[in-house]
Chain A
């Protein structure tokens, strides 16, 4: 066991996957350290599921190699799966079997001794344990699959879009379980196309775009890279008499970078601290602020910048 501690949880080296002339992954290198929660971000179609399918040996790479705890995933599938809990994307249940039967099967397959009802309780579907999984809603199916992934206290959890089909409350519960599992010692690798979900739990984030890893950093460092900017959207009761002067006055407020007007709506980009001065300046011009909204820039914007821009700088 001593040796294993130095082994990384997931080690992807030079993985390329082509489907005919389509390239899903191009020379991907990615490392997930033991004990961390790694968020794998990217828009739909970026290659996240392909990456996960390669890690799970559902899909065989055109080139490259994947190791989980030092085991080659294609050669030593069983060794990998005995230690891994998996929530694959687009999986389905056996309609004719009950939820409990699914969990029991997972426990039996892993040679574990968990209590199936306890696992179902944990994901919040204990009351549906005896119902056939065919009658489950999408969210319940997702919870059931999550329960089977938790069977046998896996050392690694691989979750592909785990919050699919869950309401915000369900997604929050799932994040809580992810944290609990991590505290127990499990490494967690999960993918999402929503920054917010990743941001809330992950130690480190990798952003995938068109089969390439375009950014990889800790959530902290990514946060620091986000500029401290607010977009202030102000609703006025009427258009001020001297519009040009008013706009110029607002633009000259310290910390304001951009002002635009559309009828009685003003949009002001400024530093977080300048919000009050901006609102005061507006009212000095004889109009009343009926309502205002602020959009603080977030990691989401960064994510959008990474995944929607024309060209992307690969961060070191």
Chain B
């Protein structure tokens, strides 16, 4: 399969990026910091919740940035420099190139996450004492999945445009939207429709909309994996079970993550497939 050849070469190229190395170092520091804070939580130490607290916060914050940095130049950068002509001059279709990029750069992000979490587990042993290895591995896998989603978003947007500047604005703009603009917009919408910011019981659409960004979907999916951690919006807020509240169910996190991985990528492929280099 031609995409594999592209992925291997792309991995070899992207893993040598100093930006990735710098981000991995930052990620390691965040993970260690999280582990340290988890140890300060006192009596409840050694629970799964500690683990999630220690790792989800740094991961939820930094993995999108790592995924985006690794992904946004994937296609647009090669189009700008001209190396895409080398790549496509060889027997690879445009689809092979896009899939190869997603595979190769996902592997890069996976390595970065594995390094961060390997140091993290040492930190957890040191600060907290003991950690459930199974939980830890599950958490690591979920985070890699989350990273792959952001790589797909990054590569997808990168395939839509000829300019890395526009790709960068698109990808990092999206991250900013997901970090806080999205929830603010949903809250404002709630205020206009319901006349108040806070409620005893929120409407189903409110928790549903809040659950849409990949970052919340990551939390929901972790909630589904650990059954009982109160990470999905459906568990965080009291709600009336109305329209759209399904979106906030833990299992639906997987559906949303899949959509976030596939929709921008599909759109990028479609636009890239019919444009001039």
- Residues in chain A within 8 A of chain B (CB atoms): 53, 56-60, 77-78, 81-82, 84, 86, 88, 90-94, 96-97, 101-102, 105-106, 108-111, 145, 148-149
Q: How far is the CB of B212 from chain A (nearest CB, A)?
A: 36
Contact assessment for B13 and A94 in the assembled complex, using a CB-CB cutoff below 8 Å? yes
Q: How far is the CB of A144 from the nearest CB of chain B, in Å?
A: 10
Provide the bound-state CA to CA distance between A101 and B81, in Å.
18
Return the CB mask of B1-32 against A: 1 if under 8 Å, else 0.
01001000100110011000000000000000
The answer to whether A93 touches B93 (Cβ under 8 A) is: no
- In the assembled complex, the CB of A152 is this many whole angstroms from the nearest CB of chain B, namely 9
22 pairs from A and B in contact (CB 8 Å cutoff): A53-B276, A59-B277, A78-B2, A78-B91, A81-B90, A88-B85, A90-B85, A91-B82, A92-B81, A93-B83, A94-B9, A94-B13, A96-B13, A97-B9, A97-B12, A97-B13, A101-B9, A101-B12, A109-B5, A109-B92, A110-B91, A148-B90
Closest 4 CB pairs of A and B: A86-B89, A109-B90, A88-B85, A92-B81
* Chain B contacts for A145, CB-based, 8 A: 86
Partner of B9, one of A77, A105, A110: A105
Q: Which of B81, B83, B91, B276 contacts A109 (CB 8 A)?
A: B91
Are A78 and B90 in contact (CB-based, < 8 A)? no
- B89 contact set on A, CB distance < 8 A: 56, 81, 84, 86, 88, 91, 149
Q: How far is the CB of B162 from chain A (nearest CB, A)?
A: 12
Query: For the complex, what is the distance from the CA of A59 to the CA of B89, rounded to whole Å?
Result: 12
B83 partner residues in chain A, CB cutoff 8 A: 91-94
Given known pairs A97-B12, A97-B13, the reply for A91 and B91 (CB within 8 Å) is no
Partner of A108, one of B5, B13, B86, B93: B5
Rounded to whole angstroms, the CA-CA distance of A112 and B184 in the bound complex is 56
Q: Interface readout for B212-243 with A: 1 if CB under 8 Å, 0 if not?
A: 00000000000000000000000000000000
Give a binary string over B264-277; 1 marks a CB under 8 Å from any A CB, 0 the rest. Answer: 00000000001011
User: Are B277 and A90 in contact, CB atoms less than 8 angstroms apart?
Assistant: no
- Tell me the bound Cα distance from A91 to B85 in angstroms: 6
Find chain A residues with CB under 8 A from B86 CB.
Answer: 88, 91-93, 102, 145, 148
Question: Quick one: which of B12, B274, B276 has the most chain A CB within 10 A?
Answer: B276
A112 to chain B, nearest CB (A): 10
Q: Which residue of A lies closest to B80 (CB)?
A: A92
Contact with A along B70-103 (1 / 0, CB 8 A): 0000000000011101101111110000000000
| B105 to A: closest C-beta gap in Å | 14
Q: What is B's interface to A at a CB cutoff of 8 Å?
A: 2, 5, 9, 12-13, 16-17, 81-83, 85-86, 88-93, 274, 276-277
Report the minimum CB–CB distance from A165 to chain B (whole Å). Answer: 13
Query: Once bound together, how far apart are the Cα atoms of A174 and B12, in whole Å?
Result: 30
Give, as a whole number of angstroms, the nearest-CB distance from B111 to chain A: 15
Q: Please give, as numbers and ranges, the residues of chain B lying within 8 Å of A86 by CB-CB distance.
A: 85, 89-90
A77 to B17, CA, bound (A): 31
Determine which residue in A77, A78, A91 has the highest number of CB atoms from chain B within 10 A of its CB, and name it: A91
Further contacts, 6 of them, CB under 8 A, given A53-B276, A94-B9, A109-B2: A57-B88, A77-B93, A92-B81, A92-B82, A96-B13, A97-B9
Q: How far is the CA of A57 from the CA of B83 in the complex (A)?
A: 15
Residues of A within 8 A of B2 (CB): 78, 109
C-alpha gap A81/B2 in the complex (Å): 12
Would A106 and B90 count as touching, CB distance under 8 A? Answer: yes
In the complex, what residue of chain B is closest to A104 when comparing beta carbons? Answer: B9
Q: How far is the CB of B150 from chain A (nearest CB, A)?
A: 22
Chain B contacts for A102, CB-based, 8 A: 86
Contact of A53 among B9, B81, B91, B277 (CB under 8 A): B277
A114 to nearest B CB, angstroms? 13
Q: How far is the CA of A92 from the CA of B80 in the complex (A)?
A: 9
Write the nearest CB–CB distance from B209 to chain A, whole angstroms.
Answer: 40
Task: Output the nearest chain B residue to A133 by Cβ-Cβ distance.
Answer: B83
- Chain A residues positioned under 8 Å from B92 (CB to CB): 78, 81, 109
Chain B residues whose CB sits within 8 angstroms of the CB of A149 once the complex forms: 89
Nearest A-chain residue to B96, judged by Cβ: A78
In the complex, what's the smallest C-beta–C-beta distance from B216 to chain A, in angstroms?
35
What B residues does A97 contact at CB under 8 A?
9, 12-13, 16
Contacts of B90 in A (CB 8 A): 81, 86, 105-106, 109-110, 148
Q: Chain A residues near B88 (CB, 8 Å)?
A: 56-58
CB contacts (< 8 Å) of A106 on chain B: these are: 90
* With contact pairs A88-B89, A109-B2, A110-B90 given, residues A60 and B82 touching in the complex (Cβ less than 8 Å): no
A101 to B86, CA, bound (A): 13
Identify B91's interface contact among A59, A81, A88, A90, CB under 8 A: A81
User: Chain A: which residue is nearest B274 at the CB level?
Assistant: A60
A171 to B113, CA, bound (A): 48
Shortest Cβ distance from B276 into A: residue: A59
Contact status A58-B277, CB under 8 Å: yes
